[in-house]
């Protein structure tokens, strides 16, 4: 039984800021072939765009911190959000 990622993320409680807590220099993404940010994030926050840049779905973020170390070129600036995710059970 495969559960859609968005359904799984929807189980959590979010208080999303109006402004993204993640900033990406997408010009740098153009030069990055492997796009490790898309591989590392367990919430699908970083999605490759057909134009070679990155689309950021910051409202999905689980605040695990993986993005802090994911980009080898320093294109991602990540700060923890005010509000953000709250876990009920974990």
- Six-digit token pair at 85? 């995710």
CB 57 within 8 A of CB 38: no
* Runs of H (alpha helix) within 1-90: 5-9, 26-30, 36-40, 66-70
User: Min. distance of Cβ 86 from another protein in angstroms?
Assistant: 4
CB closer to another protein out of 51 and 83: 83
49 binds another protein (CB under 8 A): no
Rounded to whole angstroms, how far apart are CA atoms 65 and 71? 12
77 binds another protein (CB under 8 A): no
Whole-angstrom Cα Rg for the chain? 13
Of 18, 31, 33, 89, the residue at the interface with another protein (CB under 8 A) is 89
User: Min. distance of Cβ 18 from another protein in angstroms?
Assistant: 14
- Residues near another protein, by CB under 8 A: 1-3, 5, 8-9, 11-12, 15, 34, 36, 38-44, 62-66, 68-70, 79-90
């Amino acid at each position: 039984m495969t559960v859609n990622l968005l359904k799984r993320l929807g189980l959590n409680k979010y208080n999303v800021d109006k402004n993204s807590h993640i900033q990406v220099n997408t010009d740098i993404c153009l030069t990055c072939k492997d796009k490790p940010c898309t591989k590392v994030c367990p919430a699908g926050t970083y999605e490759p765009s057909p134009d070679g840049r990155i689309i950021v779905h910051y409202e999905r973020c689980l605040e695990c911190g993986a993005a802090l170390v994911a980009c080898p070129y320093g294109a991602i600036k990540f700060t923890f959000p005010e509000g953000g995710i709250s876990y009920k059970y974990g």
